[in-house]
Amino acid sequence: MLSSIINTNRGLPKRIIQYVLDSVPVNRIEDLLIDGEVAPGIVENCIDEILYSLDMILTLEDGVLEKKVRKEFEKLQENIRSIVVSVS
């Protein structure tokens, strides 16, 4: 679901978005790079867009998202943010 939202909004390749989502948690962005297949900038853009989308979704009122879904998104957001921090 999340990969479709990001793909629709930003036009990033859905398979790369899904690859990043399926790969977390990882400790470094280098762990997400697909051996020469995708430029690091595309992976970084996917990470940025995933975080942006999660931020928007999680700002919805509590009643809109089921608690289980909210927890999953919050955990995903935490894992993705740790990748961004490792780059800084």
Provide the pLDDT confidence category of residue 24 given band limits of 50, 70 and 90: confident
- Looking at per-residue pLDDT, the higher value among 10 and 50 belongs to 50
Tens-digit pLDDT profile for residues 26-85: 877 777 776 667 777 888 888 888 888 888 888 876 666 778 888 888 888 888 888 887
- pLDDT above 60 (res 88): no
DSSP letters for the chain? -HHHHHHHHH---HHHHHHHHHH-S-SSGGGG--TTTS-HHHHHHHHHHHHHHHHHHHTS-TTTS-HHHHHHHHHHHHHHHHHHHHH-
CA dihedral in degrees (10, 6, 38, 80; nearest 10)? 120
Are the C-beta atoms of 83 and 61 separated by less than 8 Å? no
Q: Report the number of distinct structural domains present in the chain.
A: 1
Domain span at residue 41 reads: 2-87
Q: What is the pLDDT of residue 40?
A: 79
Q: What is the pLDDT of residue 42?
A: 83
